[in-house]
């Protein structure tokens, strides 16, 4: 086979992997999830060098490369930094439509994504205006929490 034939007719195989796995989330994420579950609070970790409050928390500041140790409660209100509205289905996610926003919670210097609920998504243009960057949301916690990021969602204020 010459080089021209190889570039004109690529060989394509379809495949699908569905793999279940369990993994240890580590000390920092464990504490974050336990605070969500047991206290209904969102917490970040403060960098001792730049004073940034990282949410979700990280064991090390990605700006300063120093270990973080101090926990800081943030929110429950925050500002939308970015958003998306999903109208097509994806495996493992809710039935569309649904919205996800990237929010900097009050007291945090980084943003965290989560679902936005209690919002009419039937008209994409209206929904996009309501979810506009700079608009405010509040975190609303589920009554029964499991220690997962889905223990809360954002709601427009």
Backbone angles phi, psi at 63, to 5 degrees: -90, -45
18-22, 42-46, 51-55, 58-62: lowest mean pLDDT where? 18-22
Question: Is the per-residue pLDDT at 1 higher than 70?
Answer: no
Q: What pLDDT score was predicted for residue 3?
A: 60
Question: Is the per-residue pLDDT at 2 higher than 70?
Answer: no
Determine the number of helices (DSSP H) and then strands (DSSP E) in the chain.
3, 8
Question: Is the per-residue pLDDT at 67 higher than 90?
Answer: yes
Neighbours of 95 (CB within 10 A): 6
d(C-alpha 43, C-alpha 56), whole Å: 7
Residue 63: DSSP 8-state: T
Question: Is the per-residue pLDDT at 156 higher than 60?
Answer: yes
Q: Across residues 74-95, what is the average pLDDT?
A: 95
Q: Across residues 52-56, what is the average pLDDT?
A: 98
> Torsion over CA of 85, 45, 27 and 77, rounded to 10 degrees?
-40
Question: Is the per-residue pLDDT at 5 higher than 60?
Answer: no
pLDDT digits (tens, 9 = 90+) for 97-148: 999 999 999 999 999 999 999 999 999 999 999 999 999 999 999 999 999 9
């Amino acid at each position: 086979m010459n080089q021209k034939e190889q570039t004109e007719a690529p060989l394509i195989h379809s495949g699908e992997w569905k793999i279940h796995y369990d993994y240890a989330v580590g000390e920092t994420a464990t504490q974050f999830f336990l605070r969500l579950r047991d206290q209904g609070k969102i917490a970040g970790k403060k960098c001792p060098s730049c004073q940034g409050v990282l949410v979700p928390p990280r064991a090390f500041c990605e700006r300063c490369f120093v270990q973080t140790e101090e926990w800081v409660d943030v929110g429950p209100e925050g500002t939308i930094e970015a958003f998306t509205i999903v109208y097509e289905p994806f495996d493992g996610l809710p039935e569309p439509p649904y919205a996800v926003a990237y929010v900097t919670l009050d007291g945090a210097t980084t943003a965290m994504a989560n679902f936005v609920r209690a919002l009419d998504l039937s008209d994409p243009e209206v929904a996009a205006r309501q979810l506009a960057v700079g608009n405010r949301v509040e975190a609303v916690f589920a009554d029964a929490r499991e220690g997962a990021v889905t223990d809360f969602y954002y709601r427009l204020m």
